[in-house]
Amino acid sequence: MRVVNLSFAAAGFLGAYHLGAAEALLRNGDRLLSSLKVCAGASAGALVASMMITAPDKLQHCKKFTYRFASNVRSQRFGALTPGYDFMLELREGIEEILPPNAHQLASDRLHVSITHAKTHKNSMVSSFSSRDDLIKVLLASCFVPVYAGLKPVEFQGQKWIDGGLTDSLPIVPLGHTITVSPFSGPQDISPEHKGISRNYLRLANMSVVLSVENLRRLNEALFPPPLTRLKKLEQDGHQDALNFLKREKWI
């Protein structure tokens, strides 16, 4: 059996797409998962990757949290930027609910999280976690968009870190074949089909996406969550695209 890895792109609230894809893989991808070595990700993609590795039984819980979180952000007058609203606190509480007590042990060497150094703006891939709290800090750092999520970067091992999606939004694991998942239309293995005629690509922190109106809309939705009906449609699309991939590549 060949060694494969999974990488989930930075996605913001389009993480709903990732959750749909993850559900298809968990339900129908036994052959793929039996060969899975590493799950990688940036930002919301890192959150889904951590669920895949440490708490696949919490998938439905992740969905409920994502929809609740999105609804709470939408209810704020200025979204996540509303004075007094603590975006990172709500995110941390959600992560705390999902990760099991031994999450850091399950994640070590099997979960790769993209983060960005706040001062040098250099990317770092973290795959070793000495404690559950360290794992949570790394996941929070990978999701911290400056100003949008707050003014104080996340501290980890004496350094300050921000969103990994700013420097490597779709990590590729060095060893083995990496299967890529993205909610943006592009050349990734699992992604929405581009139905237009444009074949111009835009490079976003190591991820290629089609330059299209649809992707610009998705980029906006990543930071400013759309209504529940749209999020559920994204989830359904992710599920179907992942299922199509499994069939196309003869994993099922």
Per-residue pLDDT tens digits for 71-96: 999 999 999 999 999 999 999 999 99
185 is catalytic: no
What is the average pLDDT value for the chain, to the nearest integer? 95
Whether pTM exceeds 0.85:
yes
Residue spans per domain, the chain: 4-247
Beta carbons of 209 and 234 less than 8 angstroms apart: no
The closest alpha carbon to 209, from 222, 228, 226, belongs to 222
Q: Count of alpha carbons within 13 Å of 75, Cβ hemisphere only? A: 9
Per-residue pLDDT tens digits for 206-237: 898 998 889 999 999 999 999 999 999 999 99
User: Domain 4-247, what fold?
Assistant: Cytosolic phospholipase A2 catalytic domain (3.40.1090)
SS3 string, 197-214, reads: CCCCEEEECCEEEECCHH
86 is catalytic: no
List the catalytic residue out of 124, 163, 191, 241. Answer: 163
